[in-house]
């Protein structure tokens, strides 16, 4: 056996290169069932980030439904999701270029069914009895704030749609009962986000197809509701956090809401995008559901008569896009040692088929030997509280560090900020660990997966709680001897970019930082961002402009004089969520003080990078920057 080479942490050579990551990876999104066929949307960095609807037929044949250059992506809420729905072999898909809804049949040529203009469509379902598409429309034609409604579009004649539901600021999850007589949906109002306060409504659908006599089933100022689904008998299943946890609920017309499996676990998720699905109705007696318990994902069946949860023996540890019917289950899942994949599982026989995988890189023995699984960490934080993180130690069997040396540490701050660190295989994390650099992905207060109270820690405390938790995670690993106190860096995207800059401005812990399309001026964000998040800061910081002093006090831009550590910025030129001026104001302020700064502006990118060349360049640039400015070691390219 070859003895490992002794070399400093951070200088190890790794087979996990940026070229390998972008050349072999795709993104897997929405999953849909159409009879015996399975469809999904995949994002292809090699095609400039184009999103493609793909169909796998019952005979195993796989083919693209949307031809190039069609990009199956909607901009409703900017973050999109649920850009397609399918029924009877016909797909109805939003095209990113024009945001029009298109019909794609067996002939494969997209035909627009909505007019050109400033309308966007998402989260559709097909009303077969009446020949309609029912879904969310976002209208940008008025010149002011966009108007969101639920509309019905006649599939024979097309058009802009007939409004079924209006008056709320936001709508999601329109779901038609099996008999077509009732419509359920979720809505919410400014200044709330759907995971703070949202409502579930049900209306009757008359012979003319219009929604009448709406009734609020659940939700309100202190309750978040998620994913309504109808059973064949007219029972409505949904998720609510009325107990403090997102748990499954059942409602029958005229009856009370009842909890199905009450427990300290999360069966829901933050609705950043449309089409999220954590469970599916299998038949009159069973659901299949995914849930998160103490940060770990699980998949189980739920017997509706006995309320018994039966875990399913699957290798994945995170689940999304759970779909099913009868004994057939399809889901998107991932684990610490394997990339995201779409899996079909026969619940009667246990037969399991991987339909698509996001990357085959981990199948290579030379790559697999370098992979490291995360360790769940609970650590003490400010106010006598406990916070959570995933720790990845350095791992490369070809190398060992000199005795007594501690590794540099990259602290990752996830976006949202109402989101969570992921335990599934992320080659961008293994890119660091295989070079001898530890990573800790922090589930700071405000993260999902730990109940409503934990999410609530961030209420009017953004820039404080998240910063404290990221700093305390790093210092905890230093105390454990797992990180070098003098080589700590912090990085994050979007809200995580803000946490990065705030940590550098308001704490003396990190030696460098990386802001990926992050916020530097909270007031500018309150004035400039898109509708979906335009009042999010009311909850995170306080009402604008009444709390202007607080916005200024927590904005890194106004405290740039406190930053002495080098910072690198990554920004998309077409970002409508966090516009480029957020990065550029900060870059100018730091350069004026001769602080080492890197700034990469990627033409044509929006909020998050989708093009292979840009993903590669960002990975390499961040490694180079930290190696020179903070790690003081050779480059492990």
pLDDT tens readout for residues 394-418:
999 999 999 999 999 999 999 999 9
pLDDT the model gives residue 279: 98
pLDDT for residue 635 is more than 70: no
pLDDT (tens digit, 9 = 90+) per residue, 285-344?
999 999 999 778 999 999 999 999 999 999 999 999 999 999 999 999 999 988 899 999
209 vs 183: CA distance, rounded Å: 10
14-42 pLDDT per residue, tens: 999 999 888 768 999 999 999 999 999 99
What pLDDT score was predicted for residue 636?
43
pLDDT at 83 over 70: yes
- In this prediction, residue 1 has a pLDDT band, given cuts at 50, 70 and 90, of low
Question: In degrees, to the nearest 5, what angle opens at C-alpha 102 toward C-alphas 100 and 104?
Answer: 165
**Average pLDDT across the chain, whole number:** 95
337 touches 373 (CB < 8 A): yes
Q: Mean of the pLDDT values across residues 436-456?
A: 97
Find out if CATH 3.30.465.10 is the number for domain 5-17+364-631: no
pLDDT of 191 > 60? The answer is yes
Average pLDDT over residues 359-364: 87
Whole-number Å distance between alpha carbons of 176 and 363: 42
Tokens of 246: 């997102």
High-pLDDT (> 90) share of the chain, %: 89
Give the H/E segment covering residue 548.
helix 548-553
Calculate mean pLDDT across residues 76-95.
Answer: 96
CA–CA gap between residue 82 and residue 30 (Å, rounded): 6
**Domain 26-277 CATH class label:** mainly beta
pLDDT-derived band at 578, boundaries 50, 70, 90 = confident
The beta strands (E) that lie in 500-594 are given as 512-516, 567-572
C-beta separation of 360 from 21 below 8 A: no
pLDDT in tens, 36-67: 999 999 999 889 889 999 999 999 999 999 99
| DSSP characters over 66-134 | SPTT--B---TTTT-B--EEEETTEEEEEBTTT--EEEE-TT---EE-S-SSSEEEEEEEEETTTTEEE
Residue-level pLDDT at 633: 65
pLDDT at 236 over 70: yes
Give the phi and the psi of residue 614 in degrees, each rounded to 5.
-75, -40
Does the pLDDT of residue 178 top 80, yes or no?
Answer: yes
């Amino acid at each position: 056996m070859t003895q490992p080479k002794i070399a400093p942490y951070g200088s190890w050579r790794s087979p996990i290169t940026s070229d390998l990551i972008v050349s072999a990876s795709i993104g897997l999104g929405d999953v849909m069932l159409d009879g015996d066929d399975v469809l999904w949307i995949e994002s292809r960095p090699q095609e400039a980030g184009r999103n493609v609807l793909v169909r796998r037929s019952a005979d195993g044949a796989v083919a693209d439904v949307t031809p190039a250059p069609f990009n199956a992506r909607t901009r409703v809420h900017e973050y999109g999701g649920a850009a397609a729905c399918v029924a009877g072999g016909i797909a109805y898909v939003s095209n990113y270029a024009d945001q029009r809804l298109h019909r794609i049949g067996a002939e494969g040529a997209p035909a627009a069914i909505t007019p050109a203009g400033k309308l966007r469509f998402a989260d559709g379902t097909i009303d077969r009895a009446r020949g309609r598409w029912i879904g969310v429309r976002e209208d940008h034609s008025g010149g002011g704030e966009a108007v969101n409604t639920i509309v019905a579009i006649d599939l024979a004649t097309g058009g802009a749609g007939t409004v079924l539901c209006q008056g709320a600021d936001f709508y999601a999850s329109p779901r038609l009962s099996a008999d077509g007589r009732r419509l359920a949906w979720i809505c919410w109002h400014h200044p709330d986000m759907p995971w703070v306060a949202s409502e579930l409504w049900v209306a009757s659908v008359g012979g003319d197809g219009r929604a009448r006599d709406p009734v609020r089933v659940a939700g309100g100022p202190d309750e978040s509701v998620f994913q309504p689904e109808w059973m064949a008998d007219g029972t409505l299943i949904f998720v609510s956090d009325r107990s403090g946890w997102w748990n499954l609920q059942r409602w029958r017309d005229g009856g009370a809401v009842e909890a199905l499996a009450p427990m300290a676990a999360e069966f829901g998720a933050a609705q950043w995008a449309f089409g999220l699905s954590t469970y599916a109705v299998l038949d009159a007696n069973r659901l299949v559901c995914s849930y998160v318990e103490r940060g770990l994902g699980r998949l189980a069946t739920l017997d509706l008569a006995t309320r018994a949860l039966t875990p399913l023996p699957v290798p994945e540890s995170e689940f999304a896009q759970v779909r099913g019917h009868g004994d057939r289950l399809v889901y998107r899942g991932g684990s610490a040692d394997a990339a995201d994949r779409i899996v079909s599982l026969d619940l009667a026989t246990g037969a399991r088929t991987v339909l698509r995988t996001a990357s085959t890189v981990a199948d290579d023995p030379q790559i697999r030997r370098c992979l490291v699984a995360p360790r769940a960490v609970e650590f003490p934080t400010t106010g006598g509280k406990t916070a959570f993180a995933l720790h990845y130690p350095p791992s490369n069997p070809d190398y060992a560090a000199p005795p007594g040396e501690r590794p540099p540490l990259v602290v990752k701050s996830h976006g949202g900020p109402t989101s969570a660190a992921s335990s599934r295989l992320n080659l961008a994390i293994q890119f660091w660990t295989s070079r001898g650099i530890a990573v800790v992905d922090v589930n700071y207060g405000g993260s999902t997966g730990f109940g409503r109270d934990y999410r609530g820690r961030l209420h009017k405390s953004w820039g404080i709680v998240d910063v404290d938790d990221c700093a305390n995670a790093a210092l905890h690993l230093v105390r454990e001897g797992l990180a070098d106190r003098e080589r700590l860096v912090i990085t994050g995207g979007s809200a995580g970019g803000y946490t990065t800059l705030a940590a550098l401005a308001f704490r003396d812990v990190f030696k460098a930082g990386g802001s990926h399309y992050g916020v530097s001026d909270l007031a500018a964000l309150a004035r400039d961002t898109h509708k979906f998040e335009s009042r999010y800061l009311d909850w995170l910081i306080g009402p604008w402009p009444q709390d202007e002093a607080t916005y200024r006090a927590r904005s890194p831009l106004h405290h740039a004089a406190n930053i002495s550590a080098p910072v690198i910025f990554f920004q998309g030129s077409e970002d409508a969520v966090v516009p480029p001026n957020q990065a550029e104001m900060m870059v100018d302020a730091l350069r004026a003080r001769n602080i080492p700064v890197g700034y990469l502006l990627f033409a044509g990118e929006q909020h998050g990078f989708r093009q292979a060349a840009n993903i590669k360049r960002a990975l390499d640039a961040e490694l180079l920057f930290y190696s020179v400015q903070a790690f003081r070691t050779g480059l492990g390219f």
